Each structure stands twice: as structure tokens, then as C-alpha cells.
Structure 1
């Protein structure tokens, strides 16, 4: 019976065959232990010399790291095994004998591992991170599909930028200039006026010269936009979404979280509603906790966000930022026009902002004035302005950065481990 490691528990005490790679091995004079992986999981294969004979035992001992094989054996329950099962090997068919695999069980430097990212992905730790990433993606589609959202795909090549062009990659688009998208938001607003509630899930690009553990040049964003939804309801949807994906990972990735040594109690504390503080309250908190140089109108950096997050044991919203700090499309507070109806969601444990969102301006004249104030092209944004001319309604949206969210939920320190092939300031290979 051919099966996979993930489903091997269905065949307890039966003989099965799996296609696998040898992740590692150790042996004594009478028993060889093979650490096998097949993409769905890891399992130990036990080769007992007295049961299989000299020829098969020597074949097992001669296997090299990352050789590919077909392995047959009897599935045995074993409480000590992470998956609860191991395989008593009865036969081995070598597909390809690997030689000189560069990533050995010893310690390697980060740059070496990044140069070999195409192979590093095979490790147990990276496998766990990618499985958690996949679960977050799966749960994202489930959440939005179950809540009446329609998936819409905005363009990656754009003629304008939602937040200015200073951090965009420009490219020649025949006889005009185009940019790699830093956000699909503006297009999603158009889609929301047609379909009500929509979301996109795709790659975005920021030409930001940052080397921090929170930044990537290319990353994936989940961007919902919702017609007839105002500021408070927008926050409620955000916290419901984040709570849902955390619960999904806890329910479906227990093994992977244990591999990574994640503190599950901290994730279990992620319950709605999330705490909220205003920008004003955040400034006061920071000045009372040693940040004497920060003043109203300053943006928050990583140390500020970390200090605020440490005060809570779950994600916290910081709301009502100064208008001057935020993009041109955000709706001002009707009672206080120097701040906008926006919020950043800060993850616990120092992982920083994972969501930025706001109510959008829906009055034509106010948006037109903001476009002029920010010295943006009226011509480039004419289509965006027209959304406010034909049946404009209050609407809101947000963007969640997938990689930062994976890093937080998985407990991984650097976002470079949360995407299969990271693009960093100094890295375009492999």
C-alpha cells in the first residue's frame, strides 16, 4: 500500500510504501535509524539487522543525506515519536544516491543558509514554518469566503501609487513609466463599489532600503475592502479575522508549532475583542516609559511598537493617527480633523505592525483637495476620483502582511524564514 507520512497512521500494523528522502541517519552494530521525510512530514524508519539480513542492513547504513528512496515497512505506534508512529523497515529501493549535500546537521551561518535556500527549505524547521504559512493562507480563504467576500485580483503593474512613488520599483511600460504595486487597495475600492465586500491576496513590492528583521522587498498582502462599512466595524472584522487564523493554526499545526518551540499559551490568549489605544494615549504611554524624545506628530518605530505591545498579551490597535503621518485617502475624524479614522494592529512579543487599515474618504471634493495637497497627478487618479462621483458610499479596508503574521504566529524571529525565497536589500539569489 503506497501512502504518505501524513496519513501513515491509518495503516497501523500494516505494511506500506512511501517515497521519501533521507534527512539524517544513525546506526549501531545491529540497528539503523533513518530519519525520513516526504514533504508531508517526518518519520523514523528502523532497520533491524536480525530481521532484514546483512545486505539490506548495509544498504541502509550506506545511505547518504538527501538520497531519495522508496521505503517499505510495517507501521508501528510509538508514543515517543512526534507523529506517534515509526516504520519498521522491510525493504529499501534507492532512487538517487545524493553525494556531498552541503547542509549538514552541524551549525551553518545565516548567509550560507540563505545562499542555499533552495535546499534549506527541506529542513524540519523550515518545513514547519511553510506548513504554518500554508495554514494561514487556507484559513484566510475560509474566513473571507464564509463571510461573503469575493476574491478580486488587482494589477501588479500600475500607473500610480497609493502612497507616493518614493519606495516603488519603476519599470518601462512601452512608452510610459509603470510601477510594481505596493498595494492593491485603490483597485480593491473600485471592486468593492461593484461587489460589496472583496479581498485580494497577492505579491506587493517596496523599494525600502531597510535591513531589519521585519522587512522584505517582496511580500504578500491580504487586502479586504468593504462598502457600507465604517471605522468601528472595520476594526471588528480585523480582530475576528486575526483571531480566526490563530485558532486555525492552533487546531491544525500543533506538531509544527512544537517543532518550532512555540509557546502555545501565548497564542491561546488571542481572543476578541483586542485592546485599543489612541495615538494620543500611545504618546503619553511612551513618554511615561522612558521615551522622552518622542512628541505628538512623530511616527512610531520598532522600539515604540515593541514597548506598547509588551504592555498587552494580545494584539493591540493604535487608532487615530495624525493626518500628516498617513496617506491621502484616509477619512478625517469628523470631530477632530487633525487625526484620521485609521488603526495599526500591533502584534505581541515585538513583531510589530501586522495590519494597517482605515475608513476611506468617500467625498469627492475632499479627496480631490487631498490629491492636490500631496502633489499627486490629477490625471493619474482620475479614475479613483470617479468612484466618488457615481454612487459613493462610506467604505473601509485594511491590509495584513502575510510574512510578519507568519513570523508572529510561528514565533520566528526574522521574516526571511517565512517566505520560500526571500527578496532582501542585498539578496536576489536564489
Structure 2
């Protein structure tokens, strides 16, 4: 019976065959302990000299790290194993003998590991992080599909910026100017006015020369847009979504969280509703915490976000930022037009902003004013102005950065480990 490590528990006291790689081994006289991986998980296989042929025992004893093989044996209970079982080996069929694998079971510098990212992905830690990433993606699709959203794929090559910034990757599109998308939001607004509730999940690009542990050049975003939804309703959707993915990881990634030594008590608290604090209140809180130089109208940096988040035991919404430091499409507060109906969701434990969202402008004359203020003239934005002309409605949306969310839920210090092949300021390889 051919199976996988993840399914082997279903075959207790039965003999099975698994295709695997060797991650490590140790031998003691007449017994060898092989640490296996097969992509679905990690497991120990025990090779006893008295239970196998001499060729099989010598093969087990002499195989090198990352050699590949089919291994056959009985699945037995082992309470010391995280999986709860191991294999008693009967036979090994070598597929490929690996020699001089560069990532040995010792400490390596981060630059060395990043240079060998194509191989580093095989490690137990990276496997756990990628499985958590995958669970967040799976839960994302479940949440939005179960709640009546339609997935829409916005273009990656665009003629304009979603937020009117200059931090874009520029390219030629035949005889036109084009950019790599930094957000699909504007296109999703158009889709929301066609389908009601939509979401996208795809890569985005920011040409920011940043080296912080929170920034990537290429990253993935989940961006929902919702017609007939106001700002407060959007906040409820956001907190329910984040709660859902956190609880899904807790339920389905117990082995991976344990492998990363994640304090799951922190994640168990991630349940809606989340606390909310206005920008004005956040300024006052920061001054109380010793940030005496912070002034109204300034954006918050990482130290400010961390200080605010430390005041709560859940993610916290900071709402109603000054209009001057937010994007042109955000709707002004009806009672305080100097601020906009927006919110950033700040993750606890120093992970910073994971969501930015707002209610969008739905007034043609106001949008024309914004165009003039931000210099958004020209054909590139004409289609977006059409949304205001033809049947616009109150609508809201937000964007969640996947890699920052993975880092927070998995308890990872740097976002470079939360994406298979990170693109950083100094790294385009491998």
C-alpha cells in the first residue's frame, strides 16, 4: 500500500510504502534512525539490523542527507513523536543518492540560506511556515465563497497607480507607458458595481527602497470590495475574516504551530469584535506613552503602531486618519471632513498594519475635486471617473497583506520567510 506521511496514521499496524527524502539520521550499533520527509510531513523510520537484509541496513547506514527513496515498513504507535507514530522499516529502494547537500544540520547565516532558498524550503521550519500560509489562503477562499463573494482577477500591468504614488515599477507596454500593479482596488471597485461583492488574491509590487522586516518588493494581497456596504459594516467584515483565518490555522495547523514554537494562547484571543480607536485618540495615547513629538497630521511609523497595539490584546482598528495622508479615493467623514472614513488594522506583538481599508467616495463632483488635487488628469483615470457617473452607490473595501499576516500568525520575525521566493531590495535570486 503506497501512502504519505500525513496519511500514515490511517494504516497503524499495517505495512505501507512511502516515497521520501532523508533529512537526517543517527545510528547506534544495530539500529539506525532515519528522519524522513515527503512534502506532507516529517516522520521517523527505525531500521533494525535483525529485521532487514544486510543490503538494506547498510543502505540506511550510509545514505546521505536529501537522498530519495521508497521506504517500506509497518506503521506503529510512538507517543514520543509529534505525529504519534513511526515506521518499522522492512525495505528501502534507493531512487537517488545525494552528496554534499549544502544546508547541513547546523547553524547557517541568513544570507547563505537565502542564496539557497530553493533548498531551504525543504526544512521543517520553512515547511511549517508554508503550510500555515497555505491554510490562510484556503480559509480566505472559504470565507469569501461562503459569504457570496465573486473572485475577480484585476490586471497586473496597468496604465496608472491605484493610490497616485510614484513608487511603481515602470515598464514599456509596446509604445505606451505601463506599471506593475501596486493594488487591484480600482478595478475591483468597477467589479463590485457589477457583481455586488468581489475579492481578488494576487501579487502586487511596491518600488519602495525599504529594508525593514515588514516589507517586500513583491507580495500578495487579498482585496475585497463591497457595494452597498458602509465603513462600519466593512470593519465588521474585516474582523470576522481575520478571526476566521486565525481560528482556521489554530484548528488545522497544530503540528506546524508547534514546530515553530508559536504561543497559541495569543492566537486563541483573536476573535471578533476587535477594539477600535480613532486617529485622534491614538495621538493622545502615544503622547501618554512618551511620544511627545508626534503631531496631529503625521502618519504612524512602526514604533507608534507597536505602542498602540501593545495597549490591547487583540488586533486594533485605528480609524479616521487625516485626509491629507490617505489616498484620494477615501470618503470624507460626514461630520469631520478633515478626516476620512478609513481604518488600519494593527496586529498585536509588534507586527504592524495588516489591513488598510476605507469607504470609497461615491460623489462625482467630490471625485473631480480629488482628481485636481492629486493631479490625476489624463486618459489613465477616465474609466475610474465613469464609476461615479453611472449608478454609483455607497461602497467599501480593504486590502490584507498576506505575508505580514503569515508572519504574525506564525510568529515569524521577518516577512522574507513567509513567501516561497522573496523579492527584497538587494535580492532577485533565486
TM class by smaller structure: over 0.9
The offset of 1:165, in angstroms, is 3.8
Residue 380 of structure 1 aligns to a residue in which SS? Answer: helix
**Could you report, residue by residue, the CA deviation over 1:266-316 in whole angstroms, capped at 9, with x for unpaired residues?**
000011100000000000000111111110001000000001111111100
- Equivalence for 1:311: 311
**SS in structure 2 at match of 1:213:** coil
Give the corresponding residue for 1:374. Answer: 374
| Residue number in structure 1 paired with 2:41 | 41
Give the distance between the partners of 1:235 and 1:371, measured in 2 at CA: 27
**Structure 1, residues 194-229: CA drift from partner, whole Å, max 9, x if none?**
000000000000000000000000000000000000
Q: Equivalent residue for 1:133?
A: 133
Structure 1 residue 377 displacement after superposition = 2.1
Equivalent runs, 1:279-290 vs 2, <5 Å: 279-290=279-290
How far the C-alpha of 1:52 sits from its partner, in A, is 1.4
SS at match of 1:128: helix
Deviations 1:305-335 (A, max 9, x none): 0011111111000000000010000000010
Using the alignment, how far apart are the partners of 2:380 and 2:178 within structure 1?
A: 11
The residue that corresponds to 1:87 in the other structure is 87
Aligned to 2:388, what secondary structure does the other structure show? Answer: coil
In structure 1, the residue matched to 2:340 is 340
Aligned residues: 430
SS at match of 1:166: coil
Structure 2 gaps of 5+ residues are none
Indicate the residue corresponding to 1:244 in structure 2: 244
2:32 aligned with 1:14, yes or no? no
Q: CA deviation at 1:161?
A: 0.6
1:152 aligns with 2:145: no
What are the superposed Cα offsets for residues 27-74 of structure 1, whole Å, 9 maximum, x if unpaired? 111110000000000000000112214322111010100000000000
Q: Secondary structure at the match of 1:396?
A: strand
2:384 maps to 384
Structure 1 residue 371, shift from structure 2 partner: 1.0
Give TM-score, length-normalised by structure 2.
Answer: 0.99
The alpha-carbon deviation at position 375 of structure 1 amounts to 1.1
Contact 1:371 1:378 in 2 (8 A): no
Shift of 1:166: 1.3
2:273 corresponds to: 273
Contact 1:372 1:378 in 2 (8 A): no
Greater alpha carbon shift after TM alignment, 373-382 vs 143-152? 373-382
How many Å separate the matches in 2 of 1:273 and 1:59?
Answer: 57
4+ runs of 1 displaced by more than 6 Å?
A: none
Q: What SS does the aligned partner of 1:366 have?
A: helix
Structure 1 position 380, deviation (Å): 1.6
Give the aligned partner of residue 70 of structure 2: 70
Q: What displacement does 1:378 show? A: 3.9
1:216-231 equivalences under 5 Å are 216-231=216-231
Aligned pairs for 1:400-415 (under 5 A) are 400-415=400-415
Q: CA deviation at 1:379?
A: 2.4
Aligned to 1:114: 114
Q: What are the ranges of 5 or more consecutive residues in structure 1 without an aligned counterpart?
A: none
Alignment correspondent of 1:426: 426
